[in-house]
Amino acid sequence: MPPFIAFAGVLGGLAVIRWAYKTALRVNQELEDARVERVAEAARAGEIPTLRRDPITGAYRPD
């Protein structure tokens, strides 16, 4: 009986790992889609400023 319990535990653990992996992939894909959409929307609206180098300080500043 103990080998059967160990085998069932291993199968259950593998099922949980598979579920967690698929969930992590799904959540990451949703986050990536939202990020891409936000960047595309900002680019369409012209909200992303162009950076120019300040010749005096050498720092990059928005136009």
> pLDDT per position in the chain (63 positions), as tens?
789 999 999 999 999 999 999 999 999 999 999 999 988 887 777 677 788 898 999 898 887
Predicted local distance difference test score (pLDDT) of residue 17: 98
For residues 59 and 54, give the distance between their C-alpha atoms in angstroms, rounded to a whole number.
Answer: 5
**Terminal-residue alpha carbon distance, the chain:** 74
